[in-house]
Structure 1
Amino acid sequence: GIQGVSLSFYCMMNHYRQYVEFFILSIHGQLFIGTVNCAEENKGKWASVFRKIKISIEELEQSRNLL
């Protein structure tokens, strides 16, 4: 199965805040590390992309369980 953690936070840049989503997963013992980031004002535009990444990982896990 999938086990892991996802962290969301902001980093201060020179003139704006950077939104960062960082995740570490263990999928059947294999380490998967990922990060996505964007300027804070673009967070809403990228939210669907962040969700699609998570969903694709879950779908991969489900398809593996069906084999």
Structure 2
Amino acid sequence: MIAFNTAAAGALNATRMFDRAATKVAQSAGNDTTDLIGAVVDQSQARTAFSANLAVMKTAEQMTGRLLDMKI
């Protein structure tokens, strides 16, 4: 369960990162393109991190299920 909990925390952090980047995008609309590009890159990184953590959560759940099946 440690892997699942770690991945869940990582997914939450990625969600927060995406939210911060989305706020920057909204605030920099029409102003500084450097901030806008950086915020879009941050959104992309957050999406990738979230997907990776979700994959870890799914794998941890499958492994736990298989382990329980083996014990029964």
TM-score category by the smaller chain? 0.3 to 0.5
Task: Report which of the two has the higher share of strand.
Answer: 1
Task: Report which of the two has the higher share of helix.
Answer: 2
Q: Which structure is richer in relative contact order (CA contacts within 8 A, separation 6 or more)?
A: 2
